Amino acid sequence: MLNDSGLFALSSGCLILREEERERPLSEVNRCHGTMSIYKSNISKNKVDLKQAQYKDIDKRYFDQLIQLKTTKMANKDLDKYYNALDKALMSF
């Protein structure tokens, strides 16, 4: 039997299945558009947050803190070596 859309429908189940197959890509596209709009709103919110005073020159402050951390770790390692050498020297004396 030929229906209005030009498809031969052996049963109503086949026709419904074909409609679902056509709607599936559309629902995927709509889901992706929704996800993208959420990401875009998060990006715009984060851009506003980054303009606050607490984030001013954040790159420079981060780099300065990183240098301080690495320098402190190296000094701690040197002090540990010095302590071990001094301890050995005192024990052998």
In a shared domain, residues 83 and 62 = yes
Q: Which residues span the domain enclosing 92?
A: 57-93
Those residues with Cβ within 8 angstroms of residue 49's Cβ, 6 or more apart along the chain or in another chain:
55
Give the confidence band of 86 by pLDDT, cuts at 50, 70, 90: very high
Overall pTM > 0.75: no
Number of domains the chain contains: 2
Q: Is 2 helix (H, G, I), strand (E, B) or coil?
A: strand
- What is the separation of C-alpha 76 from the centre of its chain, rounded to a whole number of angstroms? 34
pLDDT tens for each residue of 21-68? 777 888 899 999 999 999 999 999 999 999 999 999 999 999 999 999
State whether 42 and 22 are in the same domain. yes
Same domain, 66 and 51: no
